[in-house]
């Protein structure tokens, strides 16, 4: 394979395999695509599997919104055991008998752990303490105090699948640690619990149905080279499909490419956003997707109180980027 890196734009919805870190999975796809620029949008533990959006080229400009997006998981937990990592890869620190669990107890746990929560992150995590990753300290046998962090559990369903096993279906905010949630539930039951399997099934408005396995990507490359993988990419704006959109006339499109705002009269088409369409944090103005007169994704921007459309981040497809 030629070593020269290429301009590649788009999002690949990877079904991350078990046993690889998120960076390892990203690195493999980036290598196959020979892409210059790439990043993932929310790490999964090596033990975890499922939806990991990989952003390439211009699509890395939407990664911040994907990082902030809600996530959805299905996890299986082993009861009666606690480990130092809150999953079954860790060293066992306590074992206990599992009590009989009534359906009413599960419904109470669902209510207790839904909504706004103050969650203590696990020691085995990528958060930093005095400049060092917590997992690095954990490997040295060092444990430090971790202040609780606010998270939100939008929905939680708990099903008992064995005498010592639970299945959790979780819709949560960014920053939520499913391992901490499982450990907290085990503590509430009095027997402890640790994650056995963890599978991400949704990320923002992307869901598992659109995922592509790493094996499929490898097979596509063997059959059709880089072009076969590029055919699997989604455009950057797919990550923002729930946002409202505006289409500008030719003059305003050309002006916006130089950073100039567009007057309300330059808007020749628009679509409404979803109920969860976001607003800009600093101004409170609605965020919009901006398309040019040819229907090409031009920018992420805002609509100000006077109706003007202002670009916040311009997109230049690889085909139009300067050499």
Residues that are catalytic: 45
Residue with structure tokens 């500008």?
248
- Give the start-end residues of each E strand in the chain: 10-16, 38-40, 49-56, 71-79, 81-83, 92-95, 115-119, 128-129, 132-133, 149-162, 165-172, 193-203, 206-207, 212-213, 245-248, 267-271, 287-291, 297-303, 309-314
Q: Report the C-alpha gap between 323 and 314 in whole angstroms.
A: 18
Number of other CB atoms surrounding residue 210 within 10 Å: 15
Structure tokens at 32: 């196959």
- Tell which residue, 1, 30, 3, 22, has the closest CA to residue 230: 30
Burial group, residue 265, by CB count within 10 angstroms (0-12, 13-18, 19+): exposed
3-class DSSP state for residue 276? Answer: coil
DSSP 3-state assignment of 198? Answer: strand
Hunting for tokens 């009413």 — which residue is that?
104
CB under 8 Å to 166, separation ≥6 — which residues? Answer: 76, 77, 79, 106, 158, 159, 160, 185, 193
């Amino acid at each position: 394979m030629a070593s020269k890196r290429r301009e590649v734009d788009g999002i690949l919805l990877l079904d991350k395999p078990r046993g690889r870190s998120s960076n390892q999975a990203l690195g493999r796809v980036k290598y196959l695509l020979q892409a210059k620029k790439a990043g993932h949008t929310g790490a999964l533990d090596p033990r975890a599997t499922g939806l990991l959006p990989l952003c390439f080229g211009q699509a890395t400009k939407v990664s911040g919104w994907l990082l902030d997006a809600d996530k959805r998981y299905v996890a299986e937990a082993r009861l009666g055991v606690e480990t130092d990592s809150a999953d079954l890869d860790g060293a066992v620190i306590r074992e206990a008998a599992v009590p009989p669990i009534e359906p009413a107890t599960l419904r109470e746990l669902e209510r207790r752990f839904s909504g706004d929560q103050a969650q203590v992150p696990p020691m085995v995590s990528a958060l930093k303490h005095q400049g060092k990753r917590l997992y690095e300290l954990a490997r040295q046998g060092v444990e430090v105090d971790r202040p609780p962090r606010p998270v939100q559990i939008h929905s939680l369903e708990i099903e008992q699948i064995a005498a010592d096993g639970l299945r959790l279906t979780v819709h949560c905010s960014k920053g939520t640690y499913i391992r901490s949630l499982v450990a907290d539930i085990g503590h509430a039951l009095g027997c402890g619990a640790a994650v056995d399997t963890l599978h991400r099934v949704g990320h923002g408005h992307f869901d598992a149905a659109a995922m592509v396995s790493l094996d499929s990507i490898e097979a596509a490359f063997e059959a059709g080279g880089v072009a076969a993988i590029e055919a699997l990419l989604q455009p950057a704006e797919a990550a923002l499909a729930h946002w409202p959109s505006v289409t500008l006339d030719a003059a305003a499109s050309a002006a916006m490419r130089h950073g100039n705002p567009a007057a309300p009269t330059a808007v020749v088409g628009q679509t409404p956003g979803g109920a969860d369409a976001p607003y800009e944090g600093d101004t409170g103005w609605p965020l919009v997707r901006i398309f040019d007169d040819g229907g090409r994704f031009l920018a992420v921007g805002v609509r100000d109180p006077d109706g003007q459309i202002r670009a916040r981040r311009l997109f230049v497809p690889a085909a139009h980027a300067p050499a």
